[in-house]
Amino acid sequence: MENGSTGAVVQADDVTRRYGEGDTAVEALRGVSLEIARGQLTAVMGPSGSGKSTLMHILAGLDKPTSGSVSIAGTEITRLKDSDLTKLRRTHIGFVFQFFNLLPMLTAEENIVLPLGIAGTKVEPGFFKDLIGKVGLGDRLTHRPAELSGGQQQRVAIARALVSQPTVMFADEPTGNLDSQTSSEILALMRDSVDAYGQTTVMVTHDAQAAAIADRILFLGDGLIVRDLPRSSQADVLVAMNELTAA
């Protein structure tokens, strides 16, 4: 890979994003620069409306910045054509959504292998078996999403994001729609995938418990990165959050 084994896989340079125009315009991001290191789990924290989702969408190429540049695995993506962006997604990007976004008519297993079908590639049998074992769906693999609990659905979604072994996996509030017990399980799974596969992951959350599993925590406030913490305990994260909201 272009940036070497320890370099940044995602790079943002002075990214701004404005929604709307004139009086009603909202500056969701006001100049964000960052680098995401390979093999790390990076959490993006911040209060509601601070621009977390906006940042993630732009980093993942779902949305275009108003200004600034973003590159993934060395490719500048803000000016890519739709078809090139599609190719980039196939090899470099995985997604985990807050609302799972599974396709209702496909079984869990079919959902998991869908990205491969789309890209027209095959999975390594060894890796696939390991992955299925890791997400722990057991006999639920032949069930449809409607027959699965929220936690199970999110496991399927994580497996789907991992199956193509993307350069970076993005997750926007992956536990935002789950109870705390299930959240812990999902977080453990995410952590596990980083440790076992060295999966570079960017996770947006406003939950301190979630942030505590990260190798690095970026705090966003009002469209700017206001704090950059290394791995911290849940208590430290809470303290940092309180300081920010107080400020």
Partner 1 sequence: MTKFALKGLLGRKLRTALTALAIVLGVAMISGTYVLTDSIDSAFDTIFTEVRRGSSAVVSGKAAFDLSEGSGTSAPAFDARVLETVREVDGVALAEGSVDSESTTLIGRDGKAVVNGGAPNLGFAIANGESAFNPLALEQGRWPGPDEVVIDTGTAEDEGFEIGETIGVQAEGAVERLKVVGFVRLDASISIGGATLAGFDLPTAQRLFEKEGRLDEIAVAASAGTTDAELIRNLEAALPEGTQVQTGQAQAADDAAGTNEFITFLQSFLLAFAGIALFVGSFVIANSLSITIAQRAREFATVRTLGGSRRQILVSIVVEALAVGVAASLIGLFLGLGLAKALFWLFDAVGFTLPNSGLLFETRTIVVSLLVGIVVTLLASLRPAIRATRVPPIAAVREGATLPESRFARFRTAGSLALTALGFAALGYGLFGDGLGTTQLLIWLGLGALLIFVGVALFAARLVRPLAAALGAPAARIGGAAGTLARDNARRNPQRTASTAAALMIGLALVTLVATLAAGITSTFRGAVDDVFTSDYAITAQNNFSPIPIEAAEAAAGAPGVEAIASTRTGEARVFDTTEFVTAVEPDSGEVITLEWKEGSQAVFRELGDDGAFVDDDYAESHDLSIGSPVTVIVPSGKRLRLTVQGIFDPPTGGSPFGRVTFSSETFDREYQSPRNLYTFIQTRGDITDANTEALEGALADFPNAKSQTRDEFVDNQIAALNQVLNILYVLLALSVIVSLFGIVNTLVLTVFERTRELGMLRAIGMTRRQVRRMIRHESVITALIGGVLGIILGVVLGALLIARVDFIEFSLPTTQLVVFAILTVVVGILAAIFPARRAAKLDPLKALQYE
CB neighbourhood size of 247 (10 A): 7
48's contact among Mg ion, partner 1, ligand ADP, none, with CB below 5 to 8 A by partner kind, is: ligand ADP
Name which of residues 18 to 57 contact partner 1 (CB under 8 A): 53, 57
Question: Which stretch in 6-14, 20-28, 31-39, 177-185 sits in contact with ligand ADP by CB under 6 A?
Answer: 20-28
The answer to the question of residue 119 lying near partner 1 (CB under 8 A) is: yes
The answer to the question of residue 65 lying near ligand ADP (CB under 6 A) is: no
From residue 24 to residue 63, the character string flagging contacts with Mg ion as x (rule: CB under 5 A) and all else as - is: -----------------------------x----------
62's contact among partner 1, ligand ADP, Mg ion, none, with CB below 5 to 8 A by partner kind, is: partner 1
Q: Which residue, 175 or 232, is less far from partner 1 as judged by CB?
A: 175
Contact pick of 11, 42, 53, 205 for ligand ADP (by CB under 6 A): 53
Interface residues toward ligand ADP, by CB under 6 A: 19-20, 26, 28, 46, 48-54
